[in-house]
Amino acid sequence: MNDKLTVPASERMKLDNQICFAFYVCSKEIIKKYRPLLTPLGLTYTGYITMLALWEKDKIPVKALGEKLYLDSGTLTPLLKKLESQGFVKRSRSEIDERQVIVSLTEAGHELQQKAAAIPERLVHSFEMDEVQAKQMIESLHFMMKQAPC
Residues 23-42 that bind a second copy (CB under 8 A): 23-32, 34
Q: Tell me if 116 contacts a second copy by CB under 8 A.
A: yes
Provide the minimum distance between the beta carbon of 82 and DNA in the complex, in angstroms, as a whole number.
7
Q: Tell me if 2 contacts a second copy by CB under 8 A.
A: no
Among 98, 121, 131, 139, contact with DNA (rule: CB under 7 A)? 98
DSSP 60: E
The smaller minimum CB distance to DNA, of residues 16 and 95, is found at: 95
Distance, in Å, from the CA atom of 52 to the CA atom of 88, rounded to the nearest integer, reads 12
- Could you give the C-alpha distances from 117 to 13, 98, 102, 122, in angstroms and in order? 42, 35, 25, 10
Binding letters toward a second copy, positions 68-107, x by CB under 8 A: xxx-------------------------------------
Q: Tell me if 35 contacts DNA by CB under 7 A.
A: yes
Distance, in Å, from the CA atom of 45 to the CA atom of 29, rounded to the nearest integer, reads 12
Distance, in Å, from the CA atom of 132 to the CA atom of 138, rounded to the nearest integer, reads 10
SS3 string, 90-121, reads EEEECCCCCCCEEEEECHHHHHHHHHHCCHHH
Q: Tell me if 46 contacts DNA by CB under 7 A.
A: yes
Residues 127-146 that bind a second copy (CB under 8 A): 127-129, 131, 134, 137-138, 140-142, 144-145
